[in-house]
Amino acid sequence: MSSLTVFDIGGTHVRWAQWSPQRGLGEVHRVPSPNFSRCADATVDELQAMLVRTITDAVPATGVAGLSFGAALDHRTGTVYASAPLWGAHTRPFDLSAALRAARPGVRWHVVNDVTAALLHLASTPPAQGLRKILLATISTGIACRTIDQRTGGIPVDICGLQGEIGHLPATVTIDGTPVDLRCDCGQLRHVAAFSSGPGIRRLGEILRQRRRGAWRASHLGRRLADGEAFEPALAAALDAGDALATELLDAATKPVADVVRTALCLDPEIDLVALTGGVATSLHQRYRAALLAHLTREGLYLTSDREPGWVRDRVVVSEANGLVGAGLAALAAEKAAAGHATEAA
């Protein structure tokens, strides 16, 4: 098979490139995602139509395309249930595959969740070989995770074709002993993503600014933001400088994620690797890992963390995982499966 067109569609950007197993990725193109915050006057139907046009304008008239899509979707059919970063609280199912086929019928489309795609890429790399199960969590504009059993290649899903929508689990965060009420992009209060996603961390920062105005103005983070620096690099620089307020902010933001990781390892000790990816985790890298592990050290697994403290620590890494490559791997596997079915039918 010649190269595929692969996409990675997130709440902030749409990226695409040509990919093949032999040649790897070609030049990666990127445009802003048509989302509800950027296009505030557009309806969800209009946003979805804009997204379909963005995708179809980037593919040849014929061929194969693989999509890594940042949304809660049915892993079996590709039907999109919701994408809070793209469409807010909207939850009416959207058959993206059908819309793409209608717009560009000469292309064979294969759609998977973006975390699934990233996990497929990670699972194909040498460090993942020989492991039993891998959990990959993306911490970015949205938050979700997936697990794969490396012994079978299976990614289990529930009756709706879903797995690992951890960003919409309930969470609790306190600052100065007082609970914080923040609303997730899906519209609900006190979800993991409300506190721990990229937008969630910025919202937590605003809570700190309101509650401690003097300390905020005096902090390294507050001064950099007052000078006009963007939030993400300002936070990274403040953490590097040892700023106590920035450290406290990251500690609060990582608590819900640590709670999920602790529970996952408690329930499934066959998870040999917990990989954190996505823009938030990878940009802060070891600072993010250290903040997460601090929670798991203070409140770890009953008995295990005391008897074998390295058991949890050695499983948690921050890792780059490429959704574009994963989308290509998923599309290639689907094409091979379809060819096998056709041969059996003949």
Region label for 62, one of left (φ > 0), alpha (ψ between -120 and 50) or beta (otherwise): beta
Count how many Cα atoms sit within 13 Å of the Cα of residue 42 in the half-sphere of its side chain.
17
As a whole number of angstroms, the distance between CA 196 and CA 167 comes to 8
* Percent of the chain residues past pLDDT 90, beyond the cut: 86
**Distance (Å, whole) CA 311 – CA 301:** 10
Q: For 82-120, what is each residue's pLDDT tens digit?
A: 888 899 888 899 999 999 999 999 999 999 999 999 999
Cα angle at 167 between 186 and 73, to 5 degrees?
75
Per-residue confidence (pLDDT) for residue 85, from 0 to 100: 87
CA 11 centroid distance within chain: 10
Residue 78: the pLDDT is: 86
Residues 136 and 277 sit within 8 Å (Cβ to Cβ): yes
Percent composition of the chain: helix, strand, coil (DSSP 3-state, to 5): 45, 20, 35
pLDDT tens-place string over residues 287-333: 999 999 999 999 999 999 999 999 999 999 999 999 999 999 999 99
Residue 31 CA to residue 88 CA, distance in Å, equals 20
| pLDDT confidence of residue 256 | 98
User: Tell me, what's the pLDDT at 92?
Assistant: 92
CB-based contacts of 234: which residues, under 8 Å, 6+ apart?
Answer: 221, 224, 225
Mean pLDDT, to the nearest integer, of 47-71? 93
Res 345: pLDDT: 63
Q: Any idea which architecture 4-113+322-345 has in CATH?
A: 2-Layer Sandwich (3.30)
Per-residue pLDDT for 218 more than 60? yes
Residue ranges covered by each domain of the chain: 4-113+322-345, 165-202+253-269+279-318
pLDDT value at 346 more than 90:
no
Give this prediction's pTM: 0.90
CA angle 251, 255, 259 (to 5 degrees): 155
Round to the nearest angstrom and report the end-to-end CA distance of the chain: 21
- Give the list of residues 6+ apart from residue 317 with CB closer than 8 angstroms, or none: 273, 274, 275, 276, 289
Strands 29-32 and 80-82: unpaired
